[in-house]
Structure 1
Amino acid sequence: MSTASDARFWDRTSRKYARSKIADQAGYERTLDRTRALLGPDDRVLELGCGTGTTALRLAGDVQSYLATDISADMIAIAKEKSAADPVPGLEFRSATAEALSHEAATFDAVLGFNYLHLVRDLPGTLRSIHALLVTEGLFISKTPCVGDMNLFIRLAVPAMQAIGKAPYVTVFRAADLSQQFRAAGFEILASESHATKGNDNRPYIVARKG
């Protein structure tokens, strides 16, 4: 298993993913509103794991520039199709990872990663890369499923589904572990919130600042 196999998984599922509905629309809207309030009109924003571009298309119009990236070229192709139908000035889609963007060090005022960190294979390394991509006191804003805090059925189901190719690579950690990893990478956590409107979905929304 490798990042290449991860990309192939998301390529295979890209069209199905594009058709899927957001499970907690009200919680998603809360996340968008909170994020929008943290961004300024002159900000340069990077989104990691943008999928088919739904969030990018909602937020990009409020900032100076917005680079939305994903490991899956097929996801990015769908995002570009959506963008062509409803263009937003300053929005660019690109197939890339945080590590691949290392040459753009200290470029972004904010980095966003929604439903992303649990899918990376080297969490400490990815967080260090994100830290390097931010300007001094730049913000990393994330919302991450913490599988280690979820019920036993979900924790057992993930490896079973992976074995038959129905689930991607997933890193299992708890919210407390994630916060510790943020601090180890040089971030100061400013806020940790739950935006769920249908119970606790164990996806903390974290606002962190580059120290």
Structure 2
Amino acid sequence: MEKEENKSSRFWDKRSKVFDEQVLSVYENAYKKTVKRSIPFLKPEDTMLEIGCGTGNATIPLSEYVKKITAIDISEEMMLKAAEKAKEKGRENITFRQKDLLELDIEPESYDVVAAYNVLLYMKNQEKVLEKIYDVLKPGGVFLSATDCLGRNLSKDAVRKFWKSKLHLMPYVSFDTPVGLMRKIQRKGFLVIEIVNLHRNPPNIFIVAQKIEKK
């Protein structure tokens, strides 16, 4: 039987062909808000890890504000599109790697910033992912995320994704509420310092969380 990760990568490889056209027609403003709200938490000397970089819609503009970004995604086709955009913009401080976060060999406390934009809702192993993010962040490091919280209301998009996921037509989809997602992040040792909604329906929740010492 084919591994779930391989099914997911094939799904996103296929989606890469229409991703920007379809997603930006709905979420372009949310992406711009994500970038704008992330910038104040970045410093020129920061090293950043972005999980699920997709076609680089946040990666590339944010690369102006940090020293270096390691951008990972399970989809090779998504990353090829992101790398092409980065080359066109002359951004040489981004390293793209086709990798799942949990399989990535990273020394603890390696990054100043970890970002996960519009990817947590597709992760069945959210708890382990959050633990890994905490582990690879330096003390006081910042975790930036933006996530559709489909559990807040039954939008058409939420219902569509629910059935497509149940019928195995797309990868796993979580149905977090904003408060539920925030509490998951807090339980892993983070102090949530900002939470705001970037999109009307479904709500796209932007969270800034800082790594603090676990008691």
TM score, norm. by length of structure 1: 0.90
C-alpha change, 1:52 and 1:154, in structure 2 (3 Å) is: closer
Runs of 4+ in 1 over 6 A off after TM superposition: none
C-alpha change, 1:102 and 1:185, in structure 2 (3 Å) is: farther
Stretch deviating more after TM superposition (80-89 or 59-68): 80-89
CA contact (8 A) 1:102 1:132 kept: no
Structure 1 residue 70, shift from structure 2 partner: 0.8
Spell out, residue by residue over 1:49-105, the C-alpha distance to the aligned partner (whole angstroms, 9 max, x if none): 110112111110211111111111111112122222222131111112221224332
CA contact (8 A) 2:39 2:65 kept: yes
- Residue from 177, 180, 185 that aligns with 1:177: 180
Stretch deviating more after TM superposition (122-131 or 153-162): 153-162
Structure 1 residue 28, shift from structure 2 partner: 2.5
Structure 1 residue 163, shift from structure 2 partner: 5.2
Structure 1 runs not aligned, ≥5 long:
none
Q: Provide the aligned length of Structure 1 versus Structure 2.
A: 209
- Amino acid across the alignment from 2:139: T
- Residue from 11, 14, 17 that aligns with 1:12: 14
Specify the SS of the correspondent of 2:151. helix
Structure 1 residue 140, shift from structure 2 partner: 0.3
RMSD over aligned Cα, in angstroms? 1.9
Specify the SS of the correspondent of 1:204. strand
Specify the SS of the correspondent of 1:54. coil
Distance 1:125 1:185 in 2: 10
Query: Which residue of structure 2 lines up, in the alignment, with residue 2 of structure 1?
Result: 4
Stretch deviating more after TM superposition (153-162 or 120-129): 153-162
In the alignment, structure 1 residue 92 sits paired with structure 2 residue 95: yes
Query: Which residue of structure 1 lines up, in the alignment, with residue 37 of structure 2?
Result: 34
C-alpha change, 1:37 and 1:175, in structure 2 (3 Å) is: same
- Amino acid across the alignment from 1:69: I
Distance 1:26 1:8 in 2: 27
C-alpha change, 1:98 and 1:41, in structure 2 (3 Å) is: same
